[in-house]
Amino acid sequence: MGSKIPKLSVGLVALIAPIALLGLFPLIGVPDSWQLYVFLFFIYLAMANMWNLLAGYSGLVSLCQPAFLGLAGYTLAVGTWVGIPWWAGVMGGAMVAALFALFMSIPVFRLSGVYFAIGTLVVPEALRIIFYLWKPVGGRMHGAGAGYMIKGIGDISTEQIYYFAFIIGIGSIFLMRVILRSKLGLGLVAIRDNERTAAGCGVYVFRLKLVTFVISAVMTGLAGAIFYLKQGYIEPSATFNVRWTITILLATVIGGMRTEEGPLIGTIVVVVLYFLLARYAGYSLLIQGVILIGIMLLSPQGISGVLRHIRFYRSLTQFVGVR
């Protein structure tokens, strides 16, 4: 009994101390540039965790995540033009993303494997064209391809937006832990390993996939709405863009799919790459693609897979309690 207490204490400190420190950043005068790095870290982390839930644990290689964040962002932006408060726009954006996921599930869940991935890949591109041409009816509203400014957010401080991202990022970690330790998580793992066998054992395959798909859409939509709340405007070319997909894939694959700590590690790497490659804007997507392929070839299990072979890291994961 006595020997377990120090381990538990070290594990709690290892988990809580970094979270507490990041939560104090706006209060201790950390430079704005560092707050921006951490803000992006939380946004990417939430999205990476949700993609890991889909592709890593559910076997759903979804490439339509930009659709969810884009729809949520546009719901927020257009809502502010018609008098809807920004906070209601953020929540409404998550609901729109969830409804769109339900609508999408009707055709795409008839597909599997690479066909499912291709079917979801075309969705953001279709939405990009629609929003490039679409302009809501109304005398004062300007938009279409030029995008929309988000109105009525002048009273929102940078610190508030930072904490919104903090909540969604840290919340995604705990949401993953809850899901993976529930009956839903066990069912998803069974589906990932062998869908037919899982169905034969009484697992409701369609229902579990649908629930996971909607949860992912809601969290990705919330993260997207908070991102555009920070940016202050939204336009279709950058919103429904493959760069978002590459970023999410990088964060998950570099860190390690099918691990809880993988997206956390991978997101740190992705944020560092984001700012290192900023000066190479014309080639950044190509460089990220090469890095993604290299990681998949050299270490399919990602950084966490390499670290798991190190004795110290194994001890640390036992303290923290991650898988």
Could you report the per-residue pLDDT of 282-298, keeping only the tens digit for each? 677 777 778 778 777 77
The helix (H) or strand (E) run that includes residue 229 is helix 205-231
For 93-103, what is the mean pLDDT? 96
- Indicate whether 266 pLDDT > 60: yes
Bigger pLDDT: 155 or 64? 64
Return all residues near 92 (Cβ < 8 A) that are at least 6 apart. 75, 76, 79, 84
Contact yes or no for 213/61 (Cβ under 8 A):
no
At 136, the pLDDT band (50, 70, 90 cuts) reads low
pLDDT of 2 reads 45
Record the tokens describing residue 220, joined without a space: 């990705």
At 103, the pLDDT band (50, 70, 90 cuts) reads very high
Which amino acid is it at 312? F
pLDDT of 281 reads 67
91-95, 103-107, 244-248, 257-261, range with the lowest pLDDT:
257-261
For 232-247, what is the mean pLDDT? 90
What are the sequence ranges of the domains in the chain?
30-240, 242-323
Output phi, psi for 85, to 5 deg.
-60, 150
pLDDT of 316 reads 53
* 187/298 Cα distance (integer angstroms): 31
Task: Give the whole-number percent of the chain exceeding pLDDT 70.
Answer: 85
| Pairing relationship of beta strands 148-149 and 233-234 according to DSSP bridges | antiparallel
| Neighbouring C-alpha atoms within 13 Å toward the C-beta of 75 | 25
pLDDT of 162 reads 94
End-to-end CA distance of the chain: 23
pLDDT in tens, 43-84: 999 999 999 999 988 888 999 999 999 999 999 998 998 889
Length of the chain: 323
pLDDT in tens, 198-214: 777 777 778 888 999 99
Task: Give the whole-number percent of the chain exceeding pLDDT 90.
Answer: 37
- Indicate whether 277 pLDDT > 90: no
Contact yes or no for 42/164 (Cβ under 8 A):
no
Instruction: State the pTM of this model.
Output: 0.86
Which three-class secondary structure state does DSSP give residue 233?
strand
Which three-class secondary structure state does DSSP give residue 149?
strand
Describe the crossing of helices 32-51 and 262-276 by its angle, rounded to 10 degrees.
130
For 128-134, what is the mean pLDDT? 86
Residue of 189, 174, 221 whose CA lies nearest to 322: 174
Contact yes or no for 169/45 (Cβ under 8 A):
yes
Which of 23-27, 85-89, 258-262 is predicted most confidently? 85-89
Q: What is the DSSP letter of 53?
A: I
For 162-172, what is the mean pLDDT? 94
Contact yes or no for 233/273 (Cβ under 8 A):
no
Q: How far is CA 30 from CA 24, 170, 211, in A?
A: 9, 19, 39
Bigger pLDDT: 315 or 101? 101
- Indicate whether 260 pLDDT > 80: yes
Phi-psi region of 302 (alpha: psi -120 to 50; beta: other; left: phi over 0): left
Output phi, psi for 321, to 5 deg.
90, 20
Mean pLDDT, all residues of the chain = 83
For 97-109, what is the mean pLDDT? 93
At 3, the pLDDT band (50, 70, 90 cuts) reads very low
Q: H helices of 134-194, where?
A: 158-180, 183-193
Record the tokens describing residue 174, joined without a space: 């705990």
Output phi, psi for 164, to 5 deg.
-60, -45
Bigger pLDDT: 243 or 281? 243
